[in-house]
Amino acid sequence: MSSPRLRVQFETLFEHYKGQDSGVQLEEITEILFCTRRNARIVLNKMEEEGWLEWHPAPGRGKLSQLNFKRSRADVSENLAKRYLEEGKIGQALKVLDHDSAKLAQVVEKYLGIVHQEGQQVVRLPYYRPLSNLNPFDQMRRSELHIAQQIFSGLTRIDEQEQLQADLAHTWEMVSSTHWRFYIRPSVRFHNGDLLTVENILDCLVALKQKTLFSHIERVESPGHLIVDVHLDRADYKLPLLLSESCAKITLPLESRADNFDELPIGTGPYRIVQNDQKRLVLQAFDGYFGFRPLLDRVEVWVIDEAHSSMVFPSLANPVRPETAEFSDEVELDPGCTLLMLNRKDGLAATNDWANYFSQKLTTLNLFQQLPQDKLAELGVLPAHGLKPGWYHHTKQGYTSPPSYRTVTIAYHGQHPMFPTLVKCIESLLKQDGLGVNLITYDQTVEETSAIDIWLKPMGISTNRDDALAGWLLNYSDIAALSKEEDFDYWAQLVRDWQATPNAAFPSKALGKSLAEKMQLIPMFHCWLGVSKDQCGSLQNAKCNALGWFDFSKVWVKPQLLEKDDGTE
């Protein structure tokens, strides 16, 4: 790739000769570029290789060589900006365009957003970090959860109206409260062409027993062709719903996986991965999908500079916020919140004195006042008074001093557009009381939770349903690792009682209230999620889901109508 210096040298020549083809001597070039004859030849040859100019040297001293310009200064800058864009370096692209964001928008438009490529409908989306771990059995962040839903299928799924639907199982029945039977679709294939087998499904269900949410699975078996029976050691009327969780997706058998399965997993969903690296994630519609084949042929998620990730639609790192207080279908608050989880097991907050101090010092309003006012719009956050929007978990008000002068260890995602700012505000509040602060950053999860006192975390629940808190609590909240055993047993029992009761409503508010009263967590902020219809252009059905993205398999590009020939001249 050409260097910025080479571009500057071209601009210098272009301005000197006013873009006009000229007869020149090499000595002129050396004086203009302040270099030797040898370097001048090298520079001219490189510019010719780039297609910027033609250089026809004349033999012999004193004779005029011919310099023909094939590109303008603006063309070269735009070309270089495009190359930087392909590498995800929007900051560098902006620099070569003299920080002209309007010019950059024109360049970006050709690469991000909706494009047509070799007859295919392609949507390119910007994102601020690589999406490196897409194994649904592992703990995943919000965006990875969304991508996994595009790649994998489960026995059941939650649709865009957040209703339970059939997926790999086309139907099911409850034989008893401890025995469920699922009937499997025939001839389903993985993205690599392998046939999905009942044995493969059985293996995935057995592996689920490692998850607290599914620890009551006693055994699984196949009593007949394309039939899967799940036997439980306690009553569960909600098993089909729970099997829609991301961790219950059916994956390729272990013996068939490549070493890079986490980055390039193979599923049976509507999209298959064709590329996933530090620059971009590329999803291609799977023609062999057992459901409706996606209308959108290809989705590319481009990893670009975080500082410029909001320059073009759709920007999922910098959500759209409503201009008024009115809610709409386009923009809504996330169904959970960003929270502070206290280590009530073996951290400072294991004592009520410390837990009470943290709960009163680090309230959402105290922290909100610490946020830089010029960043509030960029962060797109509102104070959270409960786990979900509209909830209010009453906590003690007032001020209490820290029990002693200690160093508080705080853990948070290192790659996150908002968390570094929030952590600085928390640090400032604690230092007001003379406390030291030790920060731990991580990429996926904390390996040793006993080393931390406060964990800044997003809930990352995937639907607005209240019963989504069941999977969050037992599967990926990490509350079990940071709570007192008797407290967690009570919260888990709330879930078990719900499972064991037909047609029972999920005890979401009781759970949220107890988590706050036990000072296990402190709700911090709700974030705006959404895609503005004004930004969608010809992209149809781009309705934001609870993960802040839209379902790729449900959107389509509205084609332009052909102009009618009315026969007139």
Domain boundary among 71, 104, 119: 71
Domain boundary among 71, 88, 119: 71
Long-range CB pairs of 92-100 (<8 Å, 24+ gap) are: 92/4, 94/308, 95/4, 96/4, 96/7
DSSP string, 416-479: -SSHHHHHHHHHHHHHTTT-EEEEEEESS--S-GGG-SEEEEE---SSS-TTHHHHIIIIIS-H
Domain membership of residue 219 (yes or no) is no
| Model confidence at 325: pLDDT above 60 | no
88 falls in which pLDDT band (50, 70, 90)?
A: low
Write out the residue range of the structural domain in which residue 415 sits.
Answer: 331-529
Q: How many domains does the chain have?
A: 2
Instruction: Kindly state the average pLDDT of the residues 380-391.
Output: 88
| Model confidence at 430: pLDDT above 70 | yes
What percent of the chain has pLDDT above 70?
Answer: 83
Query: With b meaning 16 or more CB within 10 Å and e meaning fewer, what string describes 29-64?
Result: bbebbeeeeeebbebbeebeebebbebeeeeeeeee
60 falls in which pLDDT band (50, 70, 90)?
A: low
- The H-assigned helical ranges of 87-221 are 90-96, 101-109, 142-151, 198-207
Between residues 446 and 267, which one has the greater pLDDT?
267
CATH number reported for the structural domain that contains residue 452 in this entry:
3.10.105.10
Q: What is the pLDDT of residues 219-256, one digit of tens each?
A: 999 999 999 999 999 999 999 999 999 999 999 999 98
Domain boundary among 71, 101, 125: 71
Distance CA 84, CA 96 (A): 9
Mean confidence (pLDDT) of the chain: 84
Domain membership of residue 135 (yes or no) is no
Domain membership of residue 555 (yes or no) is no
Which residues 6+ apart lie within 8 Å of 539 measured at CB?
114, 123, 555, 556, 557, 558
pLDDT for residue 326: 36
Domain membership of residue 505 (yes or no) is yes
pLDDT for residue 567: 57
Q: Say if CB 47 and CB 10 are below 8 A apart.
A: yes
312 falls in which pLDDT band (50, 70, 90)?
A: very low
Domain membership of residue 100 (yes or no) is no
Domain membership of residue 437 (yes or no) is yes
Q: In this structure, what token pair is assigned to residue 372?
A: 């830089």
Parallel/antiparallel/unpaired status of strands 521-530 and 338-342: antiparallel
What pTM was computed for the model? 0.79
- One-letter amino acid identity for 521? L
CATH number reported for the structural domain that contains residue 33 in this entry:
1.10.10.10
Domain membership of residue 314 (yes or no) is no
State phi, psi for 303 to the nearest 5 degrees.
Answer: -85, 115
Torsion of CA 472, 473, 477, 483, to 10 degrees: 170
How many Cα neighbours within 13 Å face the side chain of 212? Answer: 19
| Model confidence at 58: pLDDT above 90 | no
Domain membership of residue 366 (yes or no) is yes
